[in-house]
Each structure stands twice: as structure tokens, then as C-alpha cells.
């Protein structure tokens, strides 16, 4: 039996039916639904399935915070059909075996494509390169490498990593943060508010100097660097300049950095503790402008689930990170009112798929394309309830907020993973 999606508005524009058969979109247009499974999509916007360049799934090692299965469930509920699983698990994804294990867990869960990110350095230690080539040649086919959570701060190591991954079209996703400027006790953005609250902070320039160094290393090596979770106006300036020079740099911004600011720290609520930290209004405005004009290529969640016993502490001691898979699309829609659905598809699906080299993902909804898609109610206004989440963790900064638009159905490889907002 085939699946027919009736009357969806493709990218918020023309309305059409979609016939899905054998995992692909077989027809787009006017389809006779008789005898097929039907999804009524009148009033819903159809987008290609979302692709997240930056997800922490915590398995292996911290299955109390998230597993590949629960993270995949949260991703499907958020409209995702592919996520890149960051390497800072226990053990670290720094070998081919470890990468293949994450990839297999993703296939067993079967709700989204789980594509492992390989560590750049062994044990995230920052010194010795991990098994980059073996991970790339493994069944997992790793293309994105990152020590995320930590910066590859040694310029020589970064240079070697860029040279190495160039051979197979890989990319280094950098957590740009100079550790000597950030300091080990810092817990938020350094500025007027951190001073007033008595919290140790680190300045935006700790990010900017690494972004500047890395674009020059990308030019020198002829390789590709991707700037993870850009958070400052200064980083945007550097990236804009580097792109104008033709350097091979791409960048992502998180939904939280598009909407939340340092002011939220005045209640000392550790929910708002994240790395890179929430920044002042001026940075948020620059990030929004950069996403709108294409300087920032993609939105990535940095979904970072944490168990209560790691997060519910005094601000200075709590873990960094917030969950975000289930709310990303509504947050982007709410923060970026002027963006069209085609723009949203570009920054949340097409471009991230291209950056990660995921061929079957992020494709236009045309006959012959793999059937990965999401159907969104564009006018729904939903109040976020952290306890309604599929994630095992509750560090949700959007709890109680109203956001515009709602993911109604998700289809992964022709199979409905989410129906009417509920896991199918």
C-alpha cells in the first residue's frame, strides 16, 4: 500500500498531493487516493525532513540523560529525519568501531538517520588525531568531525586535521573557544550582567579569535571548516569577510542563540547555562541578520540533554546545555518572522544535508526524491511543556513559552514516524 498526502502546501506555496511508494516520492500533483493510506494535509506546509548538524544523544555512557532511541523520538517529533550525533559520549566516538556502533543504534531505533560525528582528537584530548580515515571508510561513512564541548585549540593539530579530512571531502566542525581566554571556571557571557551577578564569564572574543584563525587555516589547507554554534556579532563579521574572500567556511546558529539573551541569567536558573553562553541583544540581532542574509548557513540545535543531578545545581556548578530538538522549528519560525518556508527549508534541511554530505537528505519534494518530509501547521500557537517531551531530560529553556507553528506529521523514508503530533 502506498501513502498519499492530500493537499499539502509545498514550502507554503502551491498545493499538491504527494504519492509515496517504496520509500520515495513517486508522484506530485493530483493523486487518486483510493486504496491507499491517506494523510489529510489541507492547511499544512510540507517541507523536506529537517537535518540537525549538532545533536548530543549521550549513548553510550549517559543513557540516564538520553539514548539514541529517545533522542531519535525527540528528533522525529521535531520534524527531523536526520541528526548528526556528537562525539562527546563515553567512550568518545574516536574510532571506527565506536562510530559504527552509534550508526547501528540509530538504524535499530529506525526513526531518523543517525549519522555519527567523529572526534577530531583521541579522547577529545586536543593532542593526537583520532582515527579520522578509518571512521570515514567505515560503514558509518563519517564526514563531519568535531571535538564539540571542547575546542581544537592547538593550531597545529587543527591544521593537520583539516589536511587529513580534505582527502575524503570531510569537514571539521569547530567549537570555537580559546581556552586561555575562556578560563575553566567561567560559566556565562562576560559583561555587565555577569559583573552584577558575580558570575565568572568569558568574552565574545574568545570565540572570535578562533573563528578568525580557523578561516585562515581553511584557506591555507584548502579544506573546509564549519563553525558550530556561532554566538557573537564579531564571529559573524569574520565569517562574512571570509566568505567574501571565497574561503571554504560554513556556519550554524542554534535556535536559543536566535532568541534568548544574557538577561535571563538574573534568576540564576541553570536551565539557561549553555556553551557558548547566551549573549546580549546586539549579538542576537547580528545572528538573526546573518541567518537571513546567508552569512550563517544553517540552524543546528545543539540539543544537549542533561540528567537532573547534573543540571539542578548552583549556576556555577551546573552542566552546560539545553534540549532543543522538539522546539527548533517553532523557535526559528517565531524568531525569524520574515523568513519564508523556502528559507526555513534551506537553513534547516537542504544546506545542513549538503554540509554533512548526506546525499539522501534535504532534497526538494519532487518525484524520485527519498520520502523524508515534515508537515507543519503554520498558524498553530503552542505552549511548550517540558514534561510532554520524548527526551529523557528536562533542561528545556522554552518551558511555558508560546511558540508559533507545530510539527504535525513526520515521514522518514516513506514511513510515518509522527502522526498528529504523536509518535506513530
Rg of the chain over all Cα atoms, to the nearest angstrom: 20
Nearest approach in angstroms of CB 175 to ligand DOR is 5
Spell out the alpha helix ranges (H) of 110-224.
132-137, 155-166, 179-182, 192-197, 205-221
Nearest approach in angstroms of CB 188 to ligand DOR is 11
CA angle 190, 330, 112 (to 5 degrees): 100
Give yes or no for residue 194 binding ligand DOR (CB under 6 A). no
Residue closer to ligand DOR (CB basis): 318 or 375? 318
**Residue 61, C-beta contacts closer than 8 angstroms, at least 6 positions apart:** 89, 90, 91
Residue closer to ligand DOR (CB basis): 12 or 270? 270
43, 61, 211, 310, 322 from 64: Cα distances, Å: 39, 9, 34, 11, 15
Rounded to a whole number of angstroms, the distance between the first and last alpha carbons of the chain is 17
Residue closer to ligand DOR (CB basis): 81 or 88? 88
Q: Which of 373, 416, 370 is closest to 22 using CA atoms? A: 370
Give the side-chain half-sphere CA count within 13 A for 38. Answer: 12
User: Could you give the string, one character per residue 117-136, with x where binding to ligand DOR holds by CB under 6 A and - elsewhere?
Assistant: --------------------
Nearest approach in angstroms of CB 260 to ligand DOR is 12
Give yes or no for residue 148 binding ligand DOR (CB under 6 A). yes
**Residue from 302, 310, 359, 377 carrying the catalytic annotation:** 302
Nearest approach in angstroms of CB 134 to ligand DOR is 24
Helix H, strand E, coil C: the string for 48-113 is ECEEEEEECCCCCCCCCCCCHHHHHHHHHHCCEEEEEECCCCCCCCCCHHHHHHHHHHHHHHCCCE
Q: Which of 265, 263, 253, 281 is closest to 187 using CA atoms? A: 265
Nearest approach in angstroms of CB 207 to ligand DOR is 12
Question: Is 302 one of the catalytic residues?
Answer: yes
Residue closer to ligand DOR (CB basis): 140 or 274? 274
Strands 188-189 and 201-202: parallel
Give yes or no for residue 320 binding ligand DOR (CB under 6 A). yes
List 132, 265, 274, 358, residue binding ligand DOR (CB under 6 A) = 274
Cis bond leading into 60, ω under 30°? Answer: yes
User: Could you give the string, one character per residue 79-118, with x where binding to ligand DOR holds by CB under 6 A and - elsewhere?
Assistant: ---------x------------------------------
User: Which sign does the torsion angle of CA 42, 48, 49, 52 carry?
Assistant: negative
Q: What is the DSSP letter of 5?
A: E
Nearest approach in angstroms of CB 30 to ligand DOR is 47
Give yes or no for residue 149 binding ligand DOR (CB under 6 A). yes
List 175, 257, 333, 372, residue binding ligand DOR (CB under 6 A) = 175
Residue with the shortest CB distance to ligand DOR? 321
User: Could you give the string, one character per residue 53-72, with x where binding to ligand DOR holds by CB under 6 A and - elsewhere?
Assistant: ---x----------------
Residue closer to ligand DOR (CB basis): 275 or 363? 275
Residue closer to ligand DOR (CB basis): 70 or 275? 275
As a whole number of angstroms, the distance between CA 233 and CA 205 comes to 10
- Compute how many residues bind ligand DOR; rule: CB under 6 A: 11
Nearest approach in angstroms of CB 315 to ligand DOR is 13
Nearest approach in angstroms of CB 228 to ligand DOR is 7
* CB-CB contact of 29 with 53 (8 Å): no
Give yes or no for residue 304 binding ligand DOR (CB under 6 A). yes
As a whole number of angstroms, the distance between CA 290 and CA 379 comes to 25
Residue closer to ligand DOR (CB basis): 84 or 274? 274
Which residues of this protein are in contact with ligand DOR, per CB under 6 A? 56, 88, 148-149, 175, 274-275, 302, 304, 320-321
Q: Provide the annotated active-site residues.
A: 302
Amino acid at each position: 500500500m502506498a501513502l498519499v498526502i492530500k493537499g499539502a502546501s509545498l514550502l507554503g506555496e502551491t498545493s499538491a498531493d504527494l504519492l509515496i511508494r517504496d520509500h520515495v516520492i513517486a508522484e506530485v500533483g493530483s493523486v487518486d487516493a483510493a486504496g491507499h493510506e491517506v494523510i489529510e494535509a489541507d492547511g499544512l506546509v510540507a517541507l523536506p525532513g529537517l537535518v540537525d548538524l549538532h545533536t548530543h544523544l549521550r549513548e553510550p555512557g549517559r543513557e540516564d540523560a538520553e539514548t539514541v532511541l529517545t533522542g531519535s523520538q525527540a528528533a522525529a517529533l521535531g520534524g527531523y529525519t536526520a541528526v548528526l550525533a556528537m562525539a562527546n559520549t563515553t567512550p568518545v566516538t574516536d574510532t571506527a568501531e565506536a562510530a559504527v556502533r552509534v550508526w547501528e543504534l540509530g538504524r535499530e531505533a529506525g526513526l531518523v538517520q543517525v549519522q555519527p560525528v567523529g572526534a577530531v582528537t583521541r579522547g577529545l584530548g586536543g593532542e593526537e588525531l583520532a582515527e579520522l580515515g578509518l571512521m570515514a571508510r567505515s560503514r558509518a561513512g563519517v564526514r563531519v568531525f568535531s571535538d564539540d564541548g571542547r575546542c581544537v585549540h592547538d593550531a597545529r593539530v587543527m591544521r593537520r586535521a583539516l589536511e587529513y579530512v580534505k582527502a575524503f571531502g570531510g569537514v571539521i566542525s569547530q567549537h570555537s573557544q580559546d581556552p586561555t581566554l575562556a578560563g575553566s571556571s567561567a560559566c556565562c557571557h562576560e559583561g555587565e550582567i555577569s559583573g552584577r551577578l558575580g558570575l565568572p564569564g568569558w568574552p565574545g572574543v574568545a570565540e572570535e579569535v578562533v573563528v578568525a584563525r580557523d578561516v585562515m587555516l581553511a584557506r591555507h589547507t584548502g579544506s573546509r571548516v564549519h563553525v558550530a554554534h556561532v554566538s557573537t556579532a564579531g564571529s559573524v563579521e569574520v565569517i562574512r569577510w571570509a566568505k567574501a574572500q571565497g574561503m571554504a567556511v560554513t556556519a550554524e546558529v542554534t535556535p536559543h542563540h536566535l532568541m534568548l539573551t544574557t538577561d535571563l541569567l538574573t534568576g540564576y536558573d541553570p536551565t539557561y547555562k549553555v556553551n557558548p553562553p547566551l549573549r546580549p541583544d546586539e549579538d542576537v540581532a547580528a545572528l538573526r541578520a546573518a541567518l537571513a542574509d546567508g552569512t550563517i548557513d544553517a540552524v543546528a540545535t545543539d540539543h544537549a540533554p542533561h540528567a537532573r543531578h547534573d543540571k539542578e545545581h548552583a549556576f556555577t556548578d551546573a552542566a552546560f546545555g539545553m534540549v532543543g530538538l522538539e522546539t527548533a522549528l517553532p523557535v526559528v519560525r517565531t524568531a525569524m518572522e520574515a523568513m519564508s518556508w523556502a528559507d526555513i527549508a534551506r537553513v534547516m534541511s537542504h544546506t545542513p544535508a549538503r554540509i554533512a554530505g548526506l546525499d539522501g537528505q534535504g532534497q526538494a519534494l519532487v518525484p524520485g526524491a527519498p520520502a523524508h518530509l515534515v508537515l507543519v501547521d503554520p498558524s498553530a500557537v503552542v505552549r511548550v511543556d517540558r514534561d510532554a517531551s520524548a527526551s529523557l531530560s528536562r533542561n528545556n529553556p522554552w518551558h511555558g513559552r508560546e511558540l508559533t507553528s507545530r510539527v504535525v506529521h513526520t515521514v522518514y523514508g516513506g514511513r510515518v514516524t509522527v502522526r498528529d503530533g504523536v509518535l506513530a
